[in-house]
Structure 1
Amino acid sequence: MGGVSGVVFDLGNVLIDWQPALAIAAGVGAVEAQRFLEADDFDFMEWNHLQDSGRRWADGVAEVRRTHPHWAAHADAYLEHFPASLSKVPGTTQVVRELHEAGIPLIGLTNWSDELYYPHAAPHFEVLRMLDDVVVSGEVKAAKPDPRAYEIVAERSGLPLDRLVFVDDKQLNVDAAVALGMDGIVFTDATALRAELRSRGLPV
């Protein structure tokens, strides 16, 4: 894969560990957090994805109050304690640092509400400052695996999709990138990522 010129990184569970249970538990306790995330009558990930796609959090929480009032306190807890859900993924900051120091173009592509990303992630994680740009789905109103999200990355990077390798922890999102002509890596851990990038001739 000698044609790779730049690397596109998902953020959640690639560069920044995201554990929503920790935020919810901070407000309602660990048992209730697990009940909420495993509920048969409410899909937390789908609900969260709507905010990642641009819906305002006030509207998302209001919907829970209206349709699932028994989960309202849990939704409130997630939003109120959101920073508790975030930590560093071991090893990936060093991989990004090596690429950054070598002058490789680096772009973030994240499904993340702009209302939560800018105050709670952007200022607090060193790895984000080593990226040339971050495409935040809530801001651009396009969330992976929507093809538009990847096209925006190409526009921002100034590189065609077939010159970019995309790293994400979800197979679905990697498959969508590959379908558009990008190279793709499913992230498992920093050691495997380093090997995958090195096999593509990147300096890590």
Structure 2
Amino acid sequence: MPEAVVFDLGNVLIDWQPALAIAAGVGAVEAQRFLDAEDFDFLAWNHLQDSGRPWADGVAEVRRTHPHWAEHAAAYLDHFPASLGEVPGTAEIVRELHQAGVRLLGLTNWSDELYYPYAAGRFEVLTLLDHVVVSGEVKVAKPDPRAFEIVADRAGLPLDQLVFIDDNRANIDAAAALGMDAILFTGATQLREQLRARGYRLSAGPARSA
């Protein structure tokens, strides 16, 4: 059984729905147009801020290169807290692992400008993690191998002694290539079963209805 479990945060522990933040500023229809735009890749743009680029620079770039999307980009930043919620069931898994004495860490692609003000103090489950590696703070984001090496260093453990959980296939593949025990997150019920199969002390979870 690996000695520590490393959780991705977005859409594993914390539900992230950028459309809700954008819609708070420009409306739901415009938010979806922005996210579906053929001339602008929201996720790639957001990844640059997750990798350490200041948000002021990111929004300024949109104003310069895609002025018709500038209001939408600014709306996401201005209303960012509206994008966050809890993923059902995973906080309970973290609590049970913590009570069992399992070492727990986080490895997240997240701008430090947005993580610390809006997530770190809002979600109680994060206080149960020994350490959270925030990509915007360390200036490297998954699936870059250096991100996984940093979390192993913070844990003081080799990569093959870490279970890594993420909802992104590219990140899972990168972790597995480094020797980590990588689990693709598809839901709390499946995760509970996968961790129990690895020997972690978890309850069977709530009884399923017939």
TM-score bracket, normalised by the shorter chain, equals over 0.9
Corresponding residue for residue 193 of structure 2: 195
TM-score between the two structures when normalised by the length of structure 2: 0.96
Question: Which amino acid in structure 1 is aligned with residue 37 of structure 2?
Answer: A
Corresponding residue for residue 123 of structure 2: 125
Question: Which amino acid in structure 1 is aligned with residue 162 of structure 2?
Answer: L
Name the SS of the counterpart of 2:120 in structure 1: coil
Corresponding residue for residue 68 of structure 2: 70
Question: Which amino acid in structure 1 is aligned with residue 142 of structure 2?
Answer: K
State the 1:102 CA deviation: 1.0
Corresponding residue for residue 155 of structure 2: 157
Structure 2 spans left out of the alignment, 5+ residues:
203-210
TM-score between the two structures when normalised by the length of structure 1: 0.98
State the 1:7 CA deviation: 0.3
**What does 1:47-58 correspond to in 2, within 5 Å?**
47-58=45-56
- Per-residue CA deviations over 1:135-170 (Å, capped at 9, x if unaligned) read 000000110000000000000001110000100001
Poorly superposed stretches of 4+, deviation over 6 Å? none
Q: Does 1:30 align with 2:19?
A: no
Percent sequence identity is 76
Name the SS of the counterpart of 1:181 in structure 2: coil
CA distance in 2, matches of 1:28, 1:126: 31
CA distance in 1, matches of 2:184, 2:150: 20
CA distance in 1, matches of 2:163, 2:169: 14
Structure 1 spans left out of the alignment, 5+ residues:
none
Q: Does 1:41 align with 2:39?
A: yes
2:92 to 80, 91, 94: 94
Name the SS of the counterpart of 2:6 in structure 1: strand
CA distance in 2, matches of 1:103, 1:37: 41
Question: Which amino acid in structure 2 is aligned with residue 176 of structure 1?
Answer: A
Name the SS of the counterpart of 1:121 in structure 2: helix
State the 1:103 CA deviation: 1.1
Q: Number of aligned pairs?
A: 202
Question: Which amino acid in structure 1 is aligned with residue 77 of structure 2?
Answer: L
Kindly report the root-mean-square deviation, in angstroms, between the aligned alpha carbons of the 2 structures. Answer: 0.5
CA distance in 2, matches of 1:140, 1:106: 19
Name the SS of the counterpart of 2:107 in structure 1: strand
CA distance in 2, matches of 1:32, 1:182: 41
